[in-house]
């Protein structure tokens, strides 16, 4: 599992003084991009190759509020990967308040132009990096942090 840590910013709060729910999806994207960079496949490089990875679905279950200044660790796990579809789960742990504040999921596909592609054929280096990461996580030998 990959860990990404950030501090909740004032501009992310709502009228009630807590982090607005929409920001969790933005934080998921930040963590996903950081994971790809950790795998040596930065998102900018992928897009330069003409491949984009749109969100197919996203969901968040909110458990406890996050407040301005709280430090949140977002753990990202690859829960499914076919080379065509990537499924991720996210756990948001509020280090400041010592609690899980949210759980999330996202599903993505890979597209070049107007067609869905197979990473195994189109970007084999990224395909291998994700497969290796999943294998290391399953064996317990590698938690990228």
Reply yes or no on whether the pLDDT at 141 is more than 60.
no
Taking the domains of the chain in order of start, what are their residue ranges?
2-135
- pTM for this structure? 0.89
For 55-73, how does the pLDDT look when each residue is reduced to its tens digit (9 = 90+)? Answer: 999 999 999 999 999 999 9
Q: Which fold has domain 2-135?
A: Thiol Ester Dehydrase; Chain A (3.10.129)
How far is 54 from 61, CA to CA, in rounded Å?
21
C-alpha distances (whole Å) from 117 to each of 8, 20, 42, 123 are 36, 35, 18, 9
- The per-residue pLDDT for range 82-139, each reduced to its tens digit, is 999 999 999 999 999 999 999 999 999 999 999 999 999 998 988 999 998 888 777 6
Examine the pLDDT at 140 and tell me if it is beyond 80. Answer: no
Distances 113 to 40, 49, 100, 135 between C-alpha atoms, Å:
24, 11, 39, 30
The strand ranges marked E within 82-144 are: 85-94, 99-109, 111-112, 115-116
Q: Find how far residue 2's CA is from the centre of its chain.
A: 9
CA atoms within 13 A of residue 105's CA, in its CB half-sphere:
9
Q: Percent of the chain, pLDDT > 90?
A: 77
36: number of Cβ within 10 Å: 21
């Amino acid at each position: 599992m990959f860990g990404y840590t950030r501090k909740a910013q004032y501009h992310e709060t709502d009228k009630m003084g807590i982090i607005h729910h929409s920001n969790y999806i933005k934080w998921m994207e930040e963590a996903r991009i950081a994971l790809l960079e950790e795998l040596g496949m930065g998102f900018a490089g992928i897009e330069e190759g003409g491949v984009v990875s749109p969100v197919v679905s996203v969901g968040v279950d909110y458990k406890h509020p996050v407040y301005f200044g709280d430090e949140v660790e977002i753990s990202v796990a690859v829960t499914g990967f076919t080379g065509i579809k990537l499924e991720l789960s996210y756990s948001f742990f509020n280090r400041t308040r010592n609690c899980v504040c949210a759980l999330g999921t996202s599903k993505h596909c890979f597209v070049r132009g107007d067609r869905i592609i197979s990473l195994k054929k189109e970007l084999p280096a990224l395909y291998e990096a994700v497969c290796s990461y999943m294998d290391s996580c399953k064996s317990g030998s590698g938690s990228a942090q």
